[in-house]
Amino acid sequence: MDRVPEEVFDHLISAADEDALVVLSRTSKQMRTRIVCRQWFWRKRYEQQFPQSDKDEAKWLYHYMRLHKAISMDGKDTNTSPSIPDQTVQLDWFNVYCKRRTTEHIWSRDTPTIHQLNDVSSVRPKGTRICSIPYIHHGISPEDVRVASQWVEEPKKQPLWILEKLCWAGLFTKHMGVLSEKHSNDYLPKNTNR
C-alpha cells in the first residue's frame, strides 16, 4: 500500500469512509503520513459532519482551539487564559476530526470522564488556565464560592483539573451574599449584595 501512486491513493481516500482511513492510518508511519497530510480532506469532512452554524459545534471547536493553543505555547508561562483563538492557529484537521469523533462517541455512550474534586487548592498552578466552571448557589457567602478550573501546566501534557477558592483579598465579605452569577468562556463576574 505504501507504493501506491498518489493519484490512485487520492482516489482510494475519496472512496473510503473516515473510520477505515483512521484504522489504515495506524498501520504504519508512512500510511499515517499519507493520510494525515491531506488536511483539506479532513477539514472538509469535519465541516460536513460538525457544521459550525450549530452553536454547540462552534463552541466545541473554540474550546479545542484554546486547548491546542495553550498546549503548544512551548513552555511560555502566561498564568492567564489563552486569548481567543484566531484564524492564525494552525490545526491538524485529522486530529481535530478524530478528537471530535471521540467526543461524540463518549457522549453517545453516556460515559463522560468524571473529575471528582474534593480538596480546594491553595496554590495557583503555573501554566495556562483553559476554562473555569463556577460552583455557586444563590445566597451563599462569596467566601464559599468555588471554581473548577482546567489548567495546562507544561507544554504537550494533558490538562489537569483543580478546585479553586476565589480571591477576595482586601474586600470585607462577611455580610455579603451571592445574588447571581454570569460567566462566559473567558470571564466569571459576580453580583453580590452587601
Q: What is the pLDDT of residues 148-170, one digit of tens each?
A: 888 877 766 777 888 888 777 77
pLDDT for 154:
73
The H or E element spanning position 129 is strand 128-135
Residue 168 is placed in which grid cell? 477576595
Is 5 or 193 the better-scoring residue by pLDDT?
5
- Span of 8-17, 122-131, 183-192 with lowest mean pLDDT: 183-192
Confidence bin at 44 (pLDDT 50/70/90) = very high
Q: Helix axis angle, 29-36 relative to 18-25, nearest 10°?
A: 140
pLDDT for 80:
45
What backbone phi and psi angles, to 5 degrees, belong to 64? -60, -45
Report the mean per-residue pLDDT for the chain.
Answer: 76
pLDDT for 97:
93
Residue 104 is placed in which grid cell? 461524540
- What CA–CA distance (Å, rounded) separates 136 from 113? 22
pLDDT for 96:
93
The single residue listed with the C-alpha cell 489563552 is: 82
Q: Which residues contact 183 (CB under 8 A, 6 or more apart)?
A: 132, 134, 189
Tens digit of each residue's pLDDT (9 = 90 or more) over 86-145: 555 688 999 999 989 888 877 777 666 666 777 888 777 777 777 777 777 667 777 778
Residue 110 is placed in which grid cell? 453516556
pLDDT for 165:
80
pLDDT for 1:
60
Q: What is the mean pLDDT of residues 64-68?
A: 82
* Type of residue found at 178: V
Q: What is the mean pLDDT of residues 159-183?
A: 73
148 forms beta bridges with 133, 163
